[in-house]
Structure 1
Amino acid sequence: MSLPPLRLARPEEAEALAALVGRAYAAYLPVIGRRPAPMDDDYAARIAAGQAWVLEAEDGGLAGLLVLEVAGSHLWLENVAVDPARQRAGLGRALMRFVGGEALRRGLPEVRLLTNERMERNLAFYARLGFAELERREEKGFRRVYMAIPAERLAG
């Protein structure tokens, strides 16, 4: 699937990003028993830092978002979210290809992320893309799974 160009989020979109994340992660509330960490992120700060990317929908709304950070020798994928009304249409895979390409553009050979171990759908998705599990640990009351993939493989 080819995406329209992603762009950096604008300051006035912070609330829209938080709302999209709220919709995208709502199904996980009963699964993990508390708010997933991305629901409490500071999207205004992410935008100000140039870390939040958005995918606009045809109707002008937001179809998806990425939060990316340079972390030493790799690109850290802090968050990927697709509006639930647009899920299962290949947007997640296309966003992940963008992440791989962005890592390569920045000269970073690897992409890393974490997810909650109870988010089985996410774990399966990342495994299908080729992510390898690095470790599992408990942090801030969450059981987290850390994963990595070579950027070149993710970019496809």
Structure 2
Amino acid sequence: MTNLRLATPEDVGAIEAIAREAYEPYVSQIGRKPAPLVEDYAAMVDRGVTDVAEDAGGICGFVILMLNGGARLDNVAVSRRSRGKGVGRALIAHAERMAQEAGHDEITLYTNEKMTENLALYPRLGYRETHRATEMGLNRVYFAKALAGHPAKPPRHRSRENR
């Protein structure tokens, strides 16, 4: 059974390790480190925007949800040992619930076009591609999903630096 909870400072090391597992394979495809490899996870935990999935083996995934200026799923990653077990989907559904509870009618996200697994996954979870853009030398694909029966609107929030 997987428990979802707000991350604590004690979780930062596990979050960083999961981010390395999830994103290091993309360095050669993208030609540089993706933003999640240079993220300050301690700061994200301190801001209270990071939740973790935990099972009997410990922390097995995390999600970062930004709720300022709209709801944006900023990052989701799952440990190798837990991939294919529904942890990522549970974390995304958790972020969607939190966004809805915070009064948002949609949630947005973006991914690098080289992360082809994500390009296939998000539409299966109800996200629709809204646009593509090259920002800071990165080719990004933006998605949105309506929450609470509202039609999705184009993303209101633009990317952060290094994303």
TM-score (norm 2): 0.85
Could you tell me which amino acid in structure 1 is paired with residue 18 of structure 2?
A: L
Q: Does 1:24 align with 2:22?
A: yes
Q: How does 1:5-20 map to 2 (within 5 A)?
A: 5-20=3-18
SS at match of 2:148: helix
**Maintained 8 Å contact 2:50/2:62:** yes
Picking from 78, 82, 91, the partner of 1:95 is 91
Deviation at 1:70, TM superposition (A): 0.6
SS at match of 2:77: strand
Picking from 46, 57, 63, the partner of 1:66 is 63
Picking from 127, 143, 149, the partner of 1:147 is 143
Deviation at 1:71, TM superposition (A): 3.0
SS at match of 1:71: coil
Instruction: Name the one with the larger helix percent.
Output: 1
Q: Does 1:114 align with 2:114?
A: no
* Aligned counterparts of 2:96 and 2:127: Cα–Cα separation in 1: 12
Picking from 75, 78, 100, the partner of 2:74 is 78
Q: Which digits, 9 at most, give the CA deviation of each residue in 1:18-43, with x for residues without a partner? A: 11100111221222122111111110
**Maintained 8 Å contact 1:100/1:152:** no
Q: Which runs of 5+ in 1 are unaligned?
A: none
Picking from 121, 124, 127, the partner of 1:128 is 124
**Maintained 8 Å contact 1:131/1:147:** yes
Root mean square deviation, CA, Å: 1.5
SS at match of 1:99: helix
Q: Which runs of 5+ in 2 are unaligned?
A: 150-163
Deviation at 1:107, TM superposition (A): 1.1
Could you tell me which amino acid in structure 1 is paired with residue 66 of structure 2?
A: E
Q: Which runs of 4+ in 1 moved over 2 A?
A: none
Partner of 1:39 in structure 2? 37
Which deviates more from structure 2 when the two are superposed, residues 43-52 or residues 12-21? 12-21
Deviation at 1:133, TM superposition (A): 1.1
* Aligned counterparts of 2:11 and 2:61: Cα–Cα separation in 1: 12
* Aligned counterparts of 1:12 and 1:41: Cα–Cα separation in 2: 17
* Number of equivalent positions: 149
Identity of aligned residues (%): 41
SS at match of 1:148: strand
TM-score (norm 1): 0.89
Could you tell me which amino acid in structure 2 is paired with residue 152 of structure 1?
A: A
